[in-house]
Structure 1
Amino acid sequence: MLPVAKCVANAEVNIAVNKPAYQQYPLSPGDDSYDVNVALNKPAYQQYPYIPGDDTFDASNAVDGRKSDLRWNRGQCATSYPYRQTATWWVNLTSVHNIHHITIYFRTNNLDYEFRTYTARRFLGFSVYVSNTTDRSQGTLCFKDNNFTINTIPPVFTTICFVHGQYVIYYNERLPGVVYPDGYASLVSNDLCEVEVYGCPVTGCYGSNNTFPCPDVNCQYCHIETGTCKGCKPGYQGHHCELECDSGSYGIGCNETCGHCHDVSQCSHINGTCLTGCEAGFKKDVCKLDCDSGSYGVDCNEICGNCLSESQCSKINGTCFTGCNAGYEGDLCKTECDRGSYGIRCNETCGHCLDVSQCSHINGTCLTRCEAGFKGDKCNTECDKGSYGTECNETCGNCRDVNRCSQINGTCLTGCEAGFKGDVCKTDCDSGSYGVNCNEICGNCVNESQCSKINGTCFTGCNAGYEGDLCKTGCQPGFFGQDCFEKCIDTCNGCNNVNGLCDYGCIPGWIGYFCNKECDKGSYGNECNETCGHCRDVNQCSNVNGSCLTGCDDGYEGDLCKTREYTNTKVHKKLATYYYQNNILINHTEKNMVKTFFLLCDAITNVVVII
């Protein structure tokens, strides 16, 4: 009698554990030699994680070796977010392996009924690929479900796949516009509890227990059962991998083309390494990479010059295709502009730099200032009107025309304004001079320092004896002293205009420096050098001409009383005196009578005795 199974409500039991199993098309009946799971604990990935970061549903659960509980939330299955148009999961074997077969444990919730009813429909139409990349399109399709139904799809699926590769990829899809068979879910998910990949743990082996090396020495992957070479080691070709790659090719299947080797015959047929280095402009072992931007030449050891665009520097010889940056010239743009030039193509000429060798070859800036007379960064601007010298820091002097002030050294090219001298017209005229070029001599100023350097005006007046703004005009005749306010004495022949001295002597009758002293009694005339005659009263002798104003002593006659008097003369004089003293007036007849009398007297003078 068979044992009776007791049903327990809501119990979930993996009914497949340790139960007899069946496999269509066994790999090698009775042979379990290919029992190395090369996928165990290898890196895994799935599209659309159910809960990102939650290990309960992580992709790695499908390669952790655990498959005792095939429910979705027990941490042994890789579960993606449901209801998507595509579902992708892959395992990275970390190196290329010779694969024999692949086994997949689908999520069953440990109940065949639930598997058939709920989850199987999401697996229908799945595919399995083996590839050397994560791109399934670049790999080999090991299996594509076109026949399973929810009733025939096995919960544990195995497919033989005699290929080699690094990635095993599970893929399913429900694309819009595609009509799928009955029983297919409208959307898909992963729900993989374990994926096992069996094959050689190392390359180049086959046979029972993976113990036999591939028969062909240069074979990398051979049929895992027969040993027939399925792929040569890199660098070899031919049915038995007995031939090296043709010159210029290398790698797996000789499908790679050698790079820019210096000598293509020295390109490794295995990995493409250029054994004697690269052609100019390329780098790395296989010489397929252009030199980095900014470098060129053999092994890219040369640095590009100052190209206008670094990307336009020839990787081969460094030629700058679009020209040089400012300040450089030549094909390689490594030559600085000649001294005195700068800029693009070195077409610009440096300004008036103090040291032309310190003119920036890039932008023309004068690094050590400008020559005298110029300003600006490039020293090509003349000083403004009225300034000159280094950095135009000097101010022009008193030039007659400021526009003719040299911007270099300040020289006044048309001379100075009145009152200044020197090349730069900054020096006042010397004391005592004035005017244009200081050629004028100051007049008789009271204070020479107070003579205007410009027009000679005496600011504090003139010295004694001079007048006018310039104090160059002597006093008018008859005047002297400060501002010619003093009047000369009338007795001078000529008065000194400064001090009033009678420089040219006195008029007759006067003596002294100022001719203010009459001649002493008894003298007269120029410098009182004449002696008065026999004046009746010497005090009445004119100091000017010596005339005796009150007459002569007896016996003398004449204005000066210096002539001896005879008798007739005495008569005449006595008679004249008589008439004068008595106010006797005589008519014409009487005058004639008197005259006749006098004539008669004169005639007998020689005989008449003087009384």
Structure 2
Amino acid sequence: MAVREKGSVKAVCKLGWYGDKCTKSCSNCFNGSCEQASGHCERGCKPGYHGAKCDKLCNTHCRDSVCNQTSGLCSDCLRTHVMDSTGSPECTDGCVDGKKGSYCQKQCPDHCYNCTDDSCIVCEESFHGDDCRKICPAKCEHGCQKDTGLCTSCQVGFYGPLCQSSCGYRCKAFDSGDQFCNFSDGACFNGCSDTVYGSSCDQNCSNTCRDQTCNDKDGTCTNGCVDGWKGRNAKLHVQLIASHVRNHLH
């Protein structure tokens, strides 16, 4: 449909459209009705929108998604929110993870799982620091302490505050093949491998133990000594003992 206006022909737009060529949508207006030239919604907005052209979203805390067309303030709040003195909804139960502000409309910084307006409270796993931008050590299990960056536990096979030390060959593996050691001091949970002993499995069995195998607590040779040696730790040479005895007798 077209109408003549001062010698020119001007189109009349279908409901929900406006502009010289009726190519602009005003579908957020109440019943899709808007002023043809400007697109202003003269009869108000449909629920969830506000603004002259109803192109702005109402706060998600507004009851039934209804807010004032001009100011955007909620007509009423959801039950978990209250109106402040300006008529805006404040969050009484805090924000969902990743949001901040009195109205929970602001985004927390990257890698910040929970925050206030001033700082990050909890970092996403694998990050730490005041602004959660520092990366935790690679072998930390389930992230690290926010303030210090120290690991609270390590991946299998590693220990120490930064999980940089390896349990290594020292620890006897479980049936699964994994080598577990104490997070703090590296003590092996399943005892030592056959060729080392001690509380930290860091002492080598004597090479005069048969197969260089010894008790993982005290280092005594579990398979006996190689030929020519004796003693709990196979440290006494048989020939030297015999020579010492002969000298003593003479």
TM tier, smaller: 0.3 to 0.5
Q: Write 1 or 2 for the structure with the bigger share of helix.
A: 1
Q: TM-score, normalised by structure 1?
A: 0.21
TM-score by length of 2: 0.43
Q: Which has the larger radius of gyration?
A: 1
